[in-house]
Amino acid sequence: MTATHDTVPFAEAIAAFDPVLGLETHVELGTASKMFCGCPTMFGGAANTHVCPVCLGLPGSLPVVNRTAVESTIRMGLALNCRIAEWCRFARKNYFYPDMPKDYQVSQYDEPLCFDGYLDVTVETPDGPREFRVEIERVHMEEDTGKLTHAGGATGRIHGADYSLVDYNRAGIPLIEIVTKPIVGAGALAPQVARAYVTELRDLMRALGVSDVRMEEGSLRCDVNVSLSRPGEPWGTRSETKNVNSLRSVERAVLSEIERQAAVLRDGGRVIQETRHFHEDTGRSTPGRSKEQAEDYRYFPEPDLVPVAPPRDWVEQLRATLPEPPAARRARLRAEWGISDHEFQTLVNAGALDLVEQTIAAGVDSAAARKWWTGELARTANDRGVELAALGVTPQHIKRLEELVGAGSLSDSLARQVLEGIIAGEGDVDEVVTSRGLAVVSDDAALLEAIDAALAEQPDVADKIRGGKVQAAGAIVGAVMKATRGQADAAKVRALLLERLGVSE
Amino acid sequence: MGLIGADLVRQDAATLARAMAEGEVSSEEVTRAHLDRIGEVDDRVHAFLQLLSTEALDAARDIDRRRAAGEQLGPLAGVPIAVKDVLTMTGVPTTCGSRVLEGWRPPYDSTVVERLRAGGLVILGKTNMDEFAMGSSTEHSAYGPTHNPWDLERIPGGSGGGSAAALAAFEAPLAIGTDTGGSIRQPAAVTGTVGVKPTYGGVSRYGLVALASSLDQAGPCARTVKDTALLHAAIAGHDPRDSTSIQAPVPDVVAAADEADVRGMRIGLVRELRGEGYQAGVSQRFDEAVAILTDLGAEVVEVSCPHFEYALAAYYLILPSEASSNLARFDGMRYGLRMGDDGARSVEEVMSLTREAGFGAEVKRRIMIGTYALSSGYYDAYYGSAQKVRTLITRDFEAAFAQVDVLVSPTAPTTAFRIGDKVDDPLAMYLNDIATIPVNLAGNAAMSLPVGLAPEDGLPVGLQIMAPPMADDRLYRVGAALEAALVDRWGHLLIEEVPAL
Amino acid sequence: MTSLTRADVEHLARLARLQLAPEELDHYAGQLDVILQSVARVSEVAADDIPPTSHPIPMANVFRDDVVRPGVRRDDIAAAAPAWEDDRFRVPRILDEE
């Protein structure tokens, strides 16, 4: 169903209305086993092979809480500056759906494990960076559902399908939900704030080591809530947009929803509380099937599980395991490396931050490390449409390259060829150098041979040089470089040539 | 003393175990005798839904072989047992008395069944029950009622009527029941047998198909207090697969049953659980039993538990609420019955048709009550309030146990009523549990044992003993003393007076 | 306490996925109403200062280690499934996106 939305252009919409955002993210934990049972969580097993009576919800089965999942949640809460509950319970969220083996989901309701926190994010504006504090309402634990595939329809989606198939491998994997308090005052920056928040959250989860947080794989999911109101008036009705599967989509979903709701309100209409489905290809959302009334989940405390009451000393132990927050780390590195905000941002945008830090840690000079990662390698990654980290080049490779360049056995251009070889999977630095024969030719005798050969080919140039036109040496140097397939040190060739001809610079 | 043929089914488990240990009789003989007995009488009693003749004889022969090889076996090894059809057993149909699970063969053993197997007990079969354990008469089984061996036209109690009837009909010397509001104790009372609901968490619920998760407990049933203690010791104990299971050693219930000494104990009569509403003969036999306890050296005082009058109401809110959630999984998608899937209907329709066809009326009633009690706008008044009443009842027990060691009451307000008498009147049916429910709400332990036949109808009367949480041993101490005194007086166990079938 | 109507029962039946026949609706409405009237008395004593009990025997922090354990064989669950296709449970068409 294609949507024909009337929309108000963003600038106009934002001039008339104040947006209020709410972001709900779900993080799939990278624990070895599921939230309530010992089934493996690893991605990609054959359908219905990572299941047991508990995660299948077989009659008589009972859940038992994964301690590591609780630890991860507490660490996430601490990293988000939350308070950690002294005592909390799980609750049952009751509704019928075929991907839910028990037809209820074990979650947390009015007693989340972590609450009242915040995450500071920075948004780039034409006037410079602006900080926003996104307040966190809660961080709580729940279990993931099974996976549905829909058969018989044209699109593979639910609508029009004849029947569906369920794989419960994913059912029971620990899912941590992070809910923001309403985000107000972002105004025109709302889309970027949303994106910056999810990005920062993702980086934080990675730094904590609790999840892969890959949106494209579903280990980080985001639902975007947006409402508009005229300045000074009460908040409007919010819509919820799902199927937001990338950082870029987060930004676009907020933007498009502001534009859409502005059009509805401008025409005197009412924004409906609904769940919408985002489409990557159009950058717009379409309405889901509208529900007449909000679902009644009949929450009550989960009787099969006992309360979670983390002792304060356990919480402090976990606090001590927190890594440096990404924002603080970035500020520290920027200061240590003494580079401009802009240069730093380029580095971050290229996905090179970790790699540069690791390369410097391996002993490479800061400027050299940055040069390689943000220059040649970033270009290559971009051309190939892959992430920097996926090229197969490691900080150790860079270190070795720099060693060889420093020792004079490789020139910069030869080093680039070595990198090509590494990326092509031909081996490590030394292996590629050997197999491709990329060593700098530094043997004077060999170079003189090549110089003589070049001179013999271009006798008139030789005369010019002898006659004082030193610049003409370039042609001979070029010929020698060609003959040595770029493996000669050009400066050295030039020096030898001049010496040979008895000419000084 | 040799045991032969039909004698075998009249023996208690302790005697059988000792006889087998001493080589007087084999488990195969004992098992065969019980299977024969079942063959003779179960067409009339209908205690069993599933008979495991082949498996039982195989297990019995295995025990005999291991014993002959000199292996050390458990105290009940080789003794046959019946298991209520609400506990999972790998590969064996587990119906919970419902059509919705007809034919379902679980792929896993409940912890209770695991421990029975580990103890060398021989499982004869699965017994009948009210559907999903909802009931006090076993009339709500989708597979037909069970009949009380004392009078086949009467109910054997519920929900665990099958297990109790199997004992009373000498079809098995031991049985496993489950108790959510009295489903072990009330059947025990109306069949003249012994049944115990352990402290909540005392026996693992892993593999026990849930009715009300915060109330359910599996427990031992037998014809004597000592047998019940032996079985209790075999199945109780911490299970890491059940988060609510108690992480403490099992109280020494067998030693307490052996000591059987109430001298110096303080016993409390619960004022709110006697008097009006209790059949005259029930009250009479109860009072006589209390007098015996005094004779045995206990001090009996009256205590008041004022909030017990709200227990029934709280129970009939909490149970349906939890049950409505626990039974949601029976939707025809993964196992059990599926109805109405013609390829055109939606999943919502198929789920609804399946559940309509698969569940009986009592189950549907309770699911709807539970759905209502939890629904938004009603939670505080219903479920929320019931949870508070639960706190008040727990406090009543705590205050009482500060004064006394155990509490006693009649187990049920009446003796066994006729099949059909109350089945169309839910509220009347619910009243059967009035004395047993408070214990489930507070989570402590209780026993029912037979104390006589009501003069007006000649039917068994049970006395309930209630102990503080974790003090299950006190049940056996008092129960064994009382039983011994009664056997002394009558010359035999009460169950010996059951009419021949 | 307001009385339970036929419409109320219809709503409950839908929430609970019970396809009740029309004649059942009135029958259940009557029975449920009686039951609900009698249990409503719990609110008489449920004062604000009384904490609710969700777990009868107080316990906290029961956990398991994050280790993988064997599950069930797919053949066993396939054998019990009402409908099975392509190694998955086959379920009728779903109308509502969740």
Report pLDDT digits (tens) over B94-119: 999 999 999 899 999 999 999 999 99
Structural domain includes residue A5: no
Q: For residues C15-44, give the mean pLDDT.
A: 90
Q: Are residues A255 and A218 in the same domain?
A: yes
Q: What percent of chain A has pLDDT over 70?
A: 98
Structural domain includes residue A4: no
Backbone angles phi, psi at A370, to 5 degrees: -65, -40
User: Domain total for chain A?
Assistant: 3
Please, which pLDDT band fits residue B5 given cuts at 50, 70 and 90? low
Could you give the CA distance from residue A106 to residue A91 in angstroms, rounded to a whole number? Answer: 6
Is B183 an annotated catalytic residue? yes
Is the pLDDT score of A157 beyond 90? no
- Do residues B26 and B240 touch, judged by C-beta distance below 8 A? no
Residue-level pLDDT at A469:
84
User: Going by C-beta distance under 8 Å and a sequence separation of 6 or more, which residues neighbour residue B324?
Assistant: A94, A298, B366, B367, B368, B369, B370, B371, B374, C16
Strand B266-270 with B48-51, pairing: unpaired
Q: Which domain holds residue A112?
A: 10-311
Q: What is the CATH number of the domain that holds A480?
A: 1.10.10.410
Among the candidates A262, A283, A311, a domain finishes at A311
Of A129-138, B133-142, B421-430, B436-445, the least confident: B421-430
Pairwise CB contact (< 8 Å): C93 & A306:
no
Q: Are residues A212 and A251 in the same domain?
A: yes
Q: Does A62 touch chain C (CB under 8 A)?
A: no
Q: Are residues A335 and A449 in the same domain?
A: no
Question: Fold for domain C6-45?
Answer: Histone, subunit A (1.10.20)
Structural domain includes residue A467: yes
Structural domain includes residue A3: no
Residue-level pLDDT at A354:
87
- C46 Cα to chain B: minimum distance (Å): 5
CB contacts of A57 in chain B (<8 Å) are 329, 334
Domains parsed from chain B with CATH numbers: 8-307+391-497 (3.90.1300.10)
Q: For residues C40-58, give the mean pLDDT.
A: 91
Q: For residues B291-303, give the mean pLDDT.
A: 98
Q: Are residues A69 and A201 in the same domain?
A: yes
Is the pLDDT score of A289 beyond 70? no
Is the pLDDT score of C98 beyond 60? no
Pairwise CB contact (< 8 Å): A300 & B205:
no
Q: Are residues A18 and A91 in the same domain?
A: yes
Which DSSP letter does residue A235 get? P
Residue-level pLDDT at A3:
41
Q: Are residues A432 and A460 in the same domain?
A: no
| pLDDT tens by residue, A198-232 | 999 999 999 999 999 999 889 999 999 999 999 98
Q: What residues 166-225 of chain A have any CB closer than 8 A to a CB of chain B?
A: 166
Among the candidates A253, A281, A311, a domain finishes at A311
Closest CA to B492 of B192, B231, B283: B192
Q: Are residues A110 and A181 in the same domain?
A: yes
Residue with tokens 């919502």: B348
Could you give the CA distance from residue A406 to residue A403 in angstroms, rounded to a whole number? Answer: 5
Q: What residues 17-76 of chain C have any CB closer than 8 A to a CB of chain B?
A: 17-21, 28, 31-32, 34-36, 38-47, 50-57, 59, 62, 64, 72-73, 76
Element (H, E) at A355: helix A353-361
- C10 Cα to chain B: minimum distance (Å): 10
Residue-level pLDDT at B198:
98
Could you give the CA distance from residue B231 to residue B34 in angstroms, rounded to a whole number? Answer: 18
| pLDDT tens by residue, B333-357 | 999 999 999 999 999 999 999 999 9
Structural domain includes residue A386: yes
Q: For residues B371-393, give the mean pLDDT.
A: 93
Q: Where are the domains of chain C?
A: 6-45
Is the pLDDT score of C72 beyond 70? yes
- pTM of structure: 0.89
Structural domain includes residue A55: yes
Could you give the CA distance from residue B194 to residue B164 in angstroms, rounded to a whole number? Answer: 9
| pLDDT tens by residue, A420-463 | 899 998 888 988 988 888 877 777 888 888 888 888 888 888 88
Is the pLDDT score of B171 beyond 90? yes
Q: What residues 135-174 of chain A have any CB closer than 8 A to a CB of chain C?
A: 148-152, 158, 161-168
Q: What percent of chain B has pLDDT over 90?
A: 94
How large is the C-alpha radius of gyration of chain C?
22
Q: Are residues A231 and A289 in the same domain?
A: yes
3-state secondary structure string across A403-457: HHHHCCCCCHHHHHHHHHHHHCCCCCHHHHHHHHCCCCECCHHHHHHHHHHHHHH
Q: Which residue has the higher pLDDT, A495 or B208?
A: B208
Among the candidates A276, A311, A346, a domain finishes at A311
Which subunits sit against A, judged by 3+ Cβ pairs under 8 A? B, C
Residue-level pLDDT at A465:
84
Please, which pLDDT band fits residue A4 given cuts at 50, 70 and 90? very low
Is the pLDDT score of A184 beyond 70? yes
Q: For residues C40-57, give the mean pLDDT.
A: 91
Q: Does B247 touch chain A (CB under 8 A)?
A: no
The mean of the pLDDT values for chain B is 96
The mean of the pLDDT values for chain A is 91
Is B98 an annotated catalytic residue? no
Q: Are residues A173 and A66 in the same domain?
A: yes
Is B159 an annotated catalytic residue? yes
| pLDDT tens by residue, A68-119 | 999 999 999 999 999 999 999 999 999 999 999 999 999 999 999 999 999 9
Q: Are residues A414 and A491 in the same domain?
A: no
Q: Specify which of B3-17, B280-294, B416-430 reaches the highest per-range mean pLDDT.
A: B280-294
Residue with tokens 């066994």: B416
